[in-house]
Structure 1
Amino acid sequence: MNQPGSQIVVGVNASVKQSNHLRGLWEKVEQYERSNEKAVIKVNLLYHEYEQVVMTHDRRMGDTRCQWVSHLMSFLDSKEIKRKDRQLLFEYVDGQLMQMQDFPFLYDPDMLRSLAEHLDRHGEVLFRKERKQNLDQVCHEISLMMKAAFGDDVDVPYPQLREALSSGNRESLEQLFEQLRENYSARQTDETDGFMEEEPEWHDYEFNYTPDENDDTSAIREIFRGSQLSKIYRQIARVVHPDREQDPLKKEEKQRLMQQLVKARNEGDVVMLVKMYGELVPDGDISLDGEDLEHIEHLLLMRLRTLNNIHRDIFNGQGLKTCIWKLFSASSKKKVREKMALHIQEVHNGIKQMEREIRYLSSSRKVVKFIHSLFWPGF
């Protein structure tokens, strides 16, 4: 089996040291990719176990927390509570809801939506003047963000945007962004079922290589010639193009590879292009000079940094899955189960405590005292 990129590296007048160095980088990239795949599996397996063992208990806590928020919210209409205290109560409840919306899987979606709508109605009364002043500014800032993400020619649906912002409905805002993202992707897509109805040409690929990733001033502008990339692309395409393949299984595999190749072209992924060339074109006759090899080396080093960041995000940037990993990951299945059992016990204790607080906060006076204790400890 060919090593990734081996045909390109061996087919030039490169020193043994340089060839070994590049092969080592390719192997390291593959090692990082495998490591990331394993990391994804580990995180997903732990999350699946959490769903089977713990989530039911967390959702019971979620239901109780909804009751807690609803109970406090019922005092927002009380005439016995001064306006300033009602605003403090509103801020506390709003903070609770924001925390809950960060982990919607733990709550009944209809209840969460109902609480948010109910609180929003109170907010219209308590903060009407402030909201009116802020809405236009926020709408303008988000529209600028949309244009930055999807192009200046994007048609920002201002009525929908204002409605989503004024309602405080996060799902509506996310759906709006997703709609714009899909429209943008559709405009950018230039693929056809025939894959190569027109001969593709690569432009010169320019990139910044930063030897010291902590020092932006060390960035070096490099250019990979488009003519060279186009030659590599065409040789790969001749091997993997599925149109003349008769065997159904081979045709399906070639279609997958052709899609991967087209994606590499559309995204300007030179590393993937070179990797596919080394793996799929064993008799390739393309030679890269020393400058090209240096570009490949730098692109591989950049890919390693990216893969390292992805690895970190797998464990730290997946919202609920990240929380589950940090809560329950352990060196053995036994220890994982012990952590889960302890968590379940703590959840049950928390439910009982919250139910006691709901029963205790039975009057406006007690609620005001509770709110004051939050904003002014020792009150």
Structure 2
Amino acid sequence: MNNLVVTPLSIQATSKPSKSGWGRVQKLWQQIEKRQARNQRYDEKITNFLDQFRLELEGTEQEVCAATEELIAHLISFISRKSIKGSMRDTLYDWISEEFDLLEANPFRIKSSEPLREQYQAALSKAHPEDEAYEPSKEDYDLVRAEVSAITGLDIDLTDEQLKEMISHPDSFIQYLESLREQAAKKEAKSEDGADFDDDTFSFFDDEEDEPWFNEADNDISALFENKDINKLYKQLARQLHPDRIQDTEKKQQHHELMQQLSQAKKEKDIFGMLMLAQTWLPDFEMNLDEKALNGLTQNLQQKLDQLEIEYHQLKAGPDLKSQVWHRFGGGNKNSRKKELEDYRLGLTKEAQGLRDKIQSIRTVQDIQLVLRQRRDRFKPMFPSFGGPIDLSDIDEFFDFFD
């Protein structure tokens, strides 16, 4: 057996465990501590940089948002003009949608865009109450059947009315397509094998030379968590940290957070996290680990080390705001970062002024028609008309043809 004791600095062996196994545990423990410290320093660094960014540039970012909102409201005011129709009207709607996308993608936006969107929808309803939903023809439905048949290899046994009803309820239509795919898969299986097979028809263990399906390392980790002293460690920590034992309000909150850490460590099977808590709250706690459990401890610590490396790369290029801001502006030295932030601030100021200049330049229907014509000629339509080929790989786009 390997007798280990928790101390304020690490875990130590009190007997003579496997030299190679124990040496590996000590090395992993030290590496984990180093990577935790590195990740914490890096996180503090990029968090402080985000604070600096907010202090210097958040107000300017919000100026761009405000100018974008003003432009959207201004464009909405032209929806009621009956002389803007056809492709020009579609271009206007596309422009408004584009500005909404830019506004809502800005993480520094402080106002909800919902009131503005409601204003947009109200303007659409008021300006075009006579517009009716497009009514597909028989040829349109035949085209849908042909497209779906080409994808599934099966005939679509639905009347026009049934197809129309399903198209009106996308979830039902998707379920129907899934059922067709399942039918196609079963049909193919029968044609190849001549009969259906149950899941138990074949056994993974018929051939004694087959490799086991499980990972031996995972088995060792399971042995670690089945160790009675590991379970005892958790129970004693839970008893020591439980906030119900504390009367002082401030300390109760601290113990509540510590209990959350312990619960998270148990959930994630993070032995290192449990032992770190034990260093403070259960010093001199002794554990007995057999060789298999010691191997499980080694594997568990290696997983923790790998996870810390993943977290480090996520900090460097993750989806959260502080990582994105650092990735965009954090390169180079302090002076170069300062210059880049200043250049960016000037660019934002210019962008906000440009949006307001655009509003001032569009005062009449003639003004906006000129701009819409330029936009229409510059950008090609993103999707084909209903009469063109339908790509069912994007079901949302498909349903748009029936709006």
What is the TM-score normalised by the length of structure 2? Answer: 0.60
Letter of the 2:11 counterpart:
S
Tell me the SS of whatever aligns to 1:54. helix
1:91 aligns with 2:94: yes
Is contact 1:242–1:255 with CA below 8 Å preserved after alignment?
yes
Pairwise CA distance, 1:219: 9.1
In the alignment, does 2:379 pair up with 1:375? Answer: yes
Residue in 2 that maps onto 1:56:
59
Structure 2, unaligned runs of 5 or more: 1-5, 136-164, 175-212, 382-403
Partner of 1:6: 11
Aligned partner of 1:73 in structure 2 is 76
> CA–CA distance in 1 between the matches of 2:38 and 2:115?
43
Distance 1:360 1:373, change over 3 A: farther
Match for residue 334 of structure 2? 333
Q: Which amino acid aligns with 1:376?
A: K
Question: Which of these two proteins has the greater Rg computed from alpha carbons?
Answer: 2
Equivalent residues of 2:318, 2:324 under 8 A apart: no
Higher mean C-alpha deviation, range 57-66 or range 116-125 = 116-125
Q: 2:88, 2:372 within 8 Å by CA — same for their partners in 1?
A: yes
Shift of 1:288: 0.9
Identity rate, percent: 20
Query: Judging changes above 3 Å, is the alpha-carbon distance between structure 1 residues 60 and 138 closer, same or farther for their aligned structure 2 residues?
Result: farther
Change in CA separation of 1:333 and 1:23 when aligned onto 2, cut-off 3 Å: same
Q: What is the number of equivalent residue pairs in this alignment?
A: 298
Report the residue type matching 2:380 in the other structure: W
Q: Letter of the aligned partner of 2:119 in structure 1?
A: H
Equivalent positions of 1:122-201 (< 5 A) are: 136-137=169-170
Report deviation, 1:253. 6.6
Give the deviation of 1:54 after TM superposition: 1.7
Following superposition, the deviation at residue 128 of structure 1 comes to: 6.1
Distance 1:295 1:99, change over 3 A: farther
SS at structure 2 position matched to 1:296? helix
- Matches of 2:41 and 2:168, distance apart in 1: 45
Aligned partners of 2:251 and 2:71: how far apart in 1?
Answer: 60
Aligned counterparts of 1:67 and 1:39: Cα–Cα separation in 2:
39
CA distance in 1, matches of 2:251, 2:62: 48
Q: Distance in 1 between matches of 2:91 and 2:166?
A: 20
1:103-118 to structure 2, matched below 5 A, reads 103-106=106-109, 109=111, 112-118=113-119
**What do residues 94-144 of structure 1 show as CA deviations (whole Å, max 9, x unaligned)?**
2321232122523x515x3332222334566689679x9888546999xxx
The residue type equivalent to 1:339 in the other structure is E
Tell me by how many angstroms 1:3 deviates. Answer: 6.6
SS of equivalent residue, structure 1 residue 286: strand
Residues 88 and 369 in structure 2, CA contact (< 8 A), matched pair in contact too: no
How far off its partner does 1:369 sit? Answer: 1.1
Q: Output the CA distance in 2 between the equivalents of 1:226 and 1:64.
A: 61
**Are residue 343 (structure 1) and residue 344 (structure 2) matched?**
yes
Residue of structure 2 in register with 1:203 after alignment? none
Amino acid at match of 1:18: G
Q: 1:23 aligns with which of 23, 26, 29?
A: 26
What is the distance in 1 between the residues matched to 2:379 and 2:271? 56
Q: Distance in 2 between matches of 1:109 and 1:135?
A: 34
Partners of 2:290 and 2:320 lie apart in 1 by 45
Cross-structure match for 1:312: 313
CA distance 1:360–1:253, change in 2 (3 Å): closer
Task: Write out per-residue CA displacement over residues 181-234 of structure 1, whole angstroms, 9 at most, x where no aligned residue.
Answer: xxxxxxxxxxxxxxxxxxxxxxxxxxxxxxxxxxx9989643234352322223
Match of 2:49 in 1: 46
Q: Output the amino acid matched with 1:337.
A: K
What residue in structure 2 maps to residue 298 of structure 1? 299
Closer, same or farther: CA 127–3 of 1 in aligned 2, 3 Å: farther
What is the alpha-carbon distance in structure 2 between the residues aligned to residue 267 and residue 327 of structure 1? Answer: 32
- Give the counterpart letter for 1:375 in structure 2: F
Mean CA deviation greater in 46-55 or 245-254:
245-254
How far off its partner does 1:375 sit? 1.9
Alpha-carbon spacing, 1:134–1:52, altered in 2? closer, same or farther (3 Å): farther
Match of 1:230 in 2: 231
Which of the numbers 100, 105, 108 marks the counterpart of 2:103? 100
Query: CA-to-partner distance for each residue in 1:231-288, whole Å, 9 max, x for gaps?
Result: 2223445666788889999888767645543443455443322443456544333211
1:353 is aligned to 2:354? yes
What is the alpha-carbon root mean square deviation over aligned residues? 4.0
Change (3 A) 1:277 1:329: same
Relative to its length, the structure with more helix (as a share) is 1
Deviation at 1:88, TM superposition (A): 3.6
